[in-house]
Structure 1
Amino acid sequence: MRELTIGKNDAGQRLDRFVGKSLPLLPPALLQKYIRLKRIKLNGKGAKREVKLQLGDTLQLYINDEFFDKPSDENIFLTIATPQIDAVYEDEHILLINKRAGMVVHDDDHNTVGTLVHHLHAYLYQKKEWNPRDEQSFTPALCNRIDRNTSGIVMAAKTAEALRILNEKIRDHEVEKQYLCITVGKPTPPNGTIRGFLRKDDMKKQVTFHKKPVPNGKTAITHYRTVKTSDKLSLVECTLETGRTHQIRVSMAEIGCPLLGDGKYGHGATNRQYNETKQALCAYKLTFTFPTDGGVLSYLKGKTFTVANVPFVETYFG
């Protein structure tokens, strides 16, 4: 329990607004709940949220110590009252999350609050599976990333050992990822492999496709299979042999079949026709191939996990 005394500059404020300003890490919904449960007392008694504080009043706050810290990159997850975690699979070591399109995976240049990693930390904290105050160095982490407007499976490690193994398996190409996408046009041939070199322009945040090696270009190999076609759209499954920035989006555009809704590499007129503002791309399937020892994660060998429902598939090919 901590106690605060109301000074002259604090007097006259509503109870809930004063506490909200004093504890910026405490989510508003949780603040109101604590007032109702009388975990926030005024002069030793429960009080209404709208009561006006008077000079000399004392507040007794029965709230976890971490909510009294100053906001920082490490504790901003505390402000999330309801974590948005759609778990495809979870056990004591890992969590596979179906990220929604529009959510940023990691912190970006704009100091975005509410990234997937923030929601992960809030989720595990609220389940009492992790508390930064109990750890010397480890923080649960995401092992792969996908674009803001791409949906699908993101791998999270809940333990340091799982993080080490997953990072190793990803580096050694022992985790196979497959994507579903909707393209504008029908790929020709319907099944094939797109090989090339991708060069990223960090200033423009854009990637260009090259058929021959170029300075700073990275090899990109994408296997694709047409699943269905309808009108001018096609449902295509892509398997990545390499994992480059915007690889599927750029590669499919290169063969004349850009992704529906892709504002960077796609057809603006077609996107507007279908009223799509996010690329129709989902990392829908993940397989742990593990041809080598998986350590504490060996039980995952050969297992495949799939997103149960891909909204854009239901919309156009349901």
Structure 2
Amino acid sequence: MKEILITKNEEGQRLDRFLKKYLNKANQSFIYKMLRKKNIKLNNLKAEPEEVLKKDDLVQLYLSDETIDKFREKKSLIETDIHFVPVYEDDNILVVNKPIGLSSQPDETSDVNLVDEIKMYLDAKEENISFTFKPAVCNRLDKNTSGLVIAAKNYDALKQTNKAIRERAIKKYYKAKVHGIIKQDIELKDYLIKDESRNMVRIVKEQEENAKLVITNAHPLKTEGNFTWLEIEIETGRAHQIRAHLSSIGHPIVGDKKYGRKDDEKHQLLHAYKLVLDGYEGELEYLNKMEIISDVDERKTLKQ
């Protein structure tokens, strides 16, 4: 018999979903059968699949070690260097400064990514101990955009952060250097259509099929010759939104090879420099109104 203590990382999810993650090679019918036959119990009692787990619950598996090993594939961490810089960290979230050139999520273009690096970072501190939950990135940045990214260290933090981002409670601010002179605040409200085949987007003025609303606000900070530094707040978080939106009004970001002009900058001058957290409840209320900053002069470039 194997007994599993439910921690903060596992609480809040249904028992059957927890078991499907823990016994990740077992199908649903096997899990339901084991529950029905009382070969899997919750707190030594017969359990229903939809029961929600709480911290300090005990899940008992009355299965042989061979059976557990047969239905459980243990995934090892990918060994990688750490390229990001931690900016804020507590028991629930980790906010990092992602360098230019590092993908937020695993993809086919690179062997390294922020998700794997965060797992390695926390594993080295022995904070990545969970049967089913692995740290997850909550907001994404383009590979060549630097700046602040929030990672959740437990299930509750992930659920609440994603909800706060979805409901626009968390405010995200960027700094960018653009072509041309801008002297007044800009408020842009248009629609974005993604071209999956080209991995690009285009901005349209009217609602069309598959078009998503995008809202971008920009405030000029200073001019440098024929360029302007902007502080940008996005109310929607679409892929390539800032880059495509500014380009659509004739002010592309300096160094943006996809939506901009040919210039001497190797990388686009776009940096996610500030987060203002809000929308958290319960044990995470302490995060509300917290302001986290990593300014543009702290941007890093991944050296590969």
Once the two structures are TM-superposed, the CA of residue 130 in structure 1 deviates from its matched residue by: 1.3
Q: What are the within-5 Å matches in structure 2 for residues 110-125 of structure 1?
A: 110=109, 112-125=110-123
Among 143, 147, 166, the alignment partner of 1:171 is 166
Q: What are the within-5 Å matches in structure 2 for residues 287-306 of structure 1?
A: 287-290=276-279, 293-306=280-293
Q: Write out per-residue CA displacement over residues 109-165 of structure 1, whole angstroms, 9 at most, x where no aligned residue.
A: 34x32211111010001011114xxx3211111111000000000000111111111
Matched, 1:126 2:124: yes
Aligned length: 228
Once the two structures are TM-superposed, the CA of residue 254 in structure 1 deviates from its matched residue by: 1.1
Q: Write out per-residue CA displacement over residues 163-217 of structure 1, whole angstroms, 9 at most, x where no aligned residue.
A: 1111111111110000000001113x52120111110000010100101111111
Secondary structure (helix, strand or coil) at the match of 1:198 reads strand
Matched, 1:221 2:221: no
Structure 2 unmatched ranges of 5 or more:
1-72, 300-304
Where relative contact order (Cα < 8 A, 6+ residues apart) is larger, the structure is 2
Aligned match of 1:232: 226
> Based on CA coordinates, which of the two structures has the bigger radius of gyration?
1
Q: What are the within-5 Å matches in structure 2 for residues 255-294 of structure 1?
A: 255-268=249-262, 271=263, 274=264, 276-290=265-279, 293-294=280-281
What amino acid does structure 2 have at the position aligned with 1:277? K
Aligned match of 1:310: 297
In 1, are the aligned partners of 2:77 and 2:120 still within 8 Å (CA)? no
- Tell me: CA distance 1:241–1:170, structure 2 relative to 1, closer, same or farther (3 Å): same
In 2, are the aligned partners of 1:227 and 1:234 still within 8 Å (CA)? yes
What amino acid does structure 1 have at the position aligned with 2:187? T
Secondary structure (helix, strand or coil) at the match of 2:159 reads helix
In 1, are the aligned partners of 2:140 and 2:149 still within 8 Å (CA)? yes
In 2, are the aligned partners of 1:85 and 1:123 still within 8 Å (CA)? no
Once the two structures are TM-superposed, the CA of residue 297 in structure 1 deviates from its matched residue by: 1.4
Matched, 1:246 2:245: no
Percent of paired sites with the same residue:
34
Q: Give the Cα separation in 2 of the matches to 1:83 and 1:299.
A: 28
Matched, 1:94 2:83: no
Q: What are the within-5 Å matches in structure 2 for residues 152-167 of structure 1?
A: 152-167=147-162
Normalised TM-score (structure 1): 0.68
Q: Write out per-residue CA displacement over residues 1-52 of structure 1, whole angstroms, 9 at most, x where no aligned residue.
A: xxxxxxxxxxxxxxxxxxxxxxxxxxxxxxxxxxxxxxxxxxxxxxxxxxxx
Normalised TM-score (structure 2): 0.71
Structure 1 unmatched ranges of 5 or more:
1-71, 313-318
Matched, 1:106 2:100: no
Once the two structures are TM-superposed, the CA of residue 76 in structure 1 deviates from its matched residue by: 4.1
Q: Give the Cα separation in 2 of the matches to 1:73 and 1:283.
A: 35
Aligned match of 1:184: 179
What amino acid does structure 2 have at the position aligned with 1:230? E
Please report the RMSD computed on the Cα atoms of aligned residues, expressed in angstroms: 1.9
